[in-house]
Amino acid sequence: MSDSSIAVAVIGATGIAGQQFLSALSKHPMFHVTALVASSRSAGKTYEEALCNDDGQLCWYGDDSFTDFADMIVVDAKTYVPDVSLVFSCVDGAVAMEIESRYARHVPVISTTSAFRYEDDTPLLIPNVNLSHAALLKRQQETRGFKGFVVPQPNCTTLGLAITLAPLHEQFKISHVTMTSMQAVSGAGRTPGVSSLDILDNIIPYIVNEEQKIETELKKILGISKGTTIQDASFFVSCACYRVPVIDGHTESVFVEFEQDVSEKNIREALTSAGTMTQDCPSSPMEWITVFDDPYRPQVRLDRERGNGLTTSVGRLRQDGSARRWKYTLVSHNTKAGAARGAILLAEWLYQEGWLSV
C-alpha cells in the first residue's frame, strides 16, 4: 500500500452493493479498506460470520477477494469510525440520511443510496456525464457545516439512461424520452430481496417509487449547473419499470425525440466518443459506451461485464418514424456501474481533482 492510499470505511458492507465495493477495493491503488460497517445484526461478528444465513450458508456474491476481508470484525453503524478519510455508503436507504450526515461532518461520503439525491444543495454526479456539477458541493458544505460532503450516485436504472443520453442531449437537445426497464433481482438487495417464488418464471410490473426516481434524477443530472444551483433539464421523461428473472444487469428500451433531425452516424459518433473525462483514472474502462451493429446485442448475460462492469452497452439503434425520433436498447451492470464501481470511479476522479485527501 502506498503512503498516498486513502483509508476508507464501507458502510453497508454486508449487502449486495457492499460486497461489490469490497471486490473492487481489494488491491485498489488509491484506496484501502480499514472498516466494515453494517447493522447491529452483523456488528461484532467476523465478516464471514455476518454473511452466513441462518443455515450457515455463506451469502457472498462478489469475486475471489472474499478472503481479504473474511476475518475483519464488522462495526455497528451506530458507532462512529474515526481514522478514515473517505466513506463509501451503501447502507439501507431508511437509515442513510443520519449516518451519511454524521460522517460528512468530518470526511467525504460517496453514496449509492437515495437519501441525499433530491436535496437542492447536492449534485448527482456521474463520471463523464456531469462532473461540472461538483461545484455545488461547496454550497452543501457551507449550508450544512460539513468538512466533508455527501455525493450520491443516481439510481442504478437512471445510470445507463443518463450515460447514453448525456452526449446526445449535449449535441442535439432532447425534447422527449420514454424508457422501459427490465431490471435484475440483485437491484432489490440481499435482505429481504426478491423471493425466488415471486420472480422465477415471472415478470413483476412494479418497483416501488422507481419510475418517479428515474424521471426526477435524469432531469437533474442532465440539467445545467449554475454554480450554486442546478436548473433541471426541461425535456419530458416517462418510464415503466419491470423486475425480471435476471441476477445482475439492467436492460432498458429507450425512445428519444430530439429538437432537430439527427443522423444515425452522428448519434453513433456522439455515443462512442463519450467517456474522456475519467480516462486517466485507474478504473476507467477502455470503452465508456459500446455501440453494437449486431441486432442480437446487447444481451445482459453477454455484455454486463464489459469494462469490468463499467461499460454501458448500446444496440438496436434505429429510427422511430422520423429523423427526430430514435430508439435503442442498453445494458448496464446495476451493482457495478450502478453502485460500487461507478462510485469508486467517481472517487478516483474526485481524488485527482483535489476533493479528497489522505
Least separation, in Å, of the C-beta of 246 and ligand NAP? 12
Closest listed residue to residue 60, CA positions, set 109, 108, 15: 15
Interface residue with ligand NAP, options 9, 12, 330, 332 (CB under 6 A) = 12
Site for ligand NAP in 260-299 (CB under 6 A): none
Say how far apart CA 237 and CA 178 lie, in whole Å: 6
Site for ligand NAP in 58-77 (CB under 6 A): 77
Distances (CA, A) of 165 to 36, 256, 318: 35, 9, 15
Helix (H, G, I), strand (E, B) or coil at 354: coil
Residue 113 touches ligand NAP, criterion: CB under 6 A: yes
- Burial 170-183, CB ≥16 within 10 A → b, else e: eebebbebbbebbb
Nearer to ligand NAP, 50 or 262 (CB): 50
> CB neighbours of 315 closer than 8 A, spacing ≥ 6?
291, 292, 293, 294, 295, 297, 298, 328, 329, 330
Least separation, in Å, of the C-beta of 334 and ligand NAP? 4
- Burial 6-30, CB ≥16 within 10 A → b, else e: bbbbbbbbbbbbbbbbbbbbbebeb
Q: Which of 28, 90, 156, 241 is catalytic?
A: 156
Residue 214 touches ligand NAP, criterion: CB under 6 A: no
Residue 109 touches ligand NAP, criterion: CB under 6 A: no
DSSP secondary structure, 128-185, as one string: TT-GGGGGHHHHHHHHHT-SS-EEEPPPHHHHHHHHHHHHHHHHH-EEEEEEEEEE-G
Interface residue with ligand NAP, options 6, 8, 9, 15 (CB under 6 A) = 15
Our CA angle for 245, 23, 190, nearest 5°, is: 40
Say how far apart CA 172 and CA 220 lie, in whole Å: 18
Tell me which stretch binds ligand NAP (CB under 6 A): 168-176, 189-197, 271-279, 284-292: 189-197
Interface residue with ligand NAP, options 189, 269, 287, 327 (CB under 6 A) = 189
> CB neighbours of 123 closer than 8 A, spacing ≥ 6?
130, 133, 134, 136, 137, 151, 225, 230
Helix (H, G, I), strand (E, B) or coil at 252: strand
Size of the site for ligand NAP (CB under 6 A): 29
Nearer to ligand NAP, 12 or 309 (CB): 12
Residue 45 touches ligand NAP, criterion: CB under 6 A: no
Residue 17 touches ligand NAP, criterion: CB under 6 A: yes
Residue 194 touches ligand NAP, criterion: CB under 6 A: no
Per-residue mark of binding to ligand NAP, 141-170 (x: CB under 6 A): ---------------x--------------
Tell me which stretch binds ligand NAP (CB under 6 A): 236-244, 268-276, 311-319, 333-341: 333-341
Identify whether the C-beta of residue 6 lies closer than 8 Å to the C-beta of residue 344.
no
Nearer to ligand NAP, 252 or 257 (CB): 252
Residue 335 touches ligand NAP, criterion: CB under 6 A: yes
Interface residue with ligand NAP, options 95, 97, 204, 240 (CB under 6 A) = 95
Our answer to whether residue 156 is catalytic in this structure is yes
Interface residue with ligand NAP, options 93, 171, 272, 316 (CB under 6 A) = 93
Q: Write down the residue that cell numbers 415478470 correspond to.
A: 203
Interface residue with ligand NAP, options 23, 85, 112, 140 (CB under 6 A) = 112
Our answer to whether residue 241 is catalytic in this structure is no
Residues lying near ligand NAP in the complex (CB under 6 A) are found at 12-18, 38-39, 41-42, 77, 90-93, 95, 112-113, 156, 186-187, 189-191, 334-335, 338-339
**Enzyme catalytic residues:** 156, 250
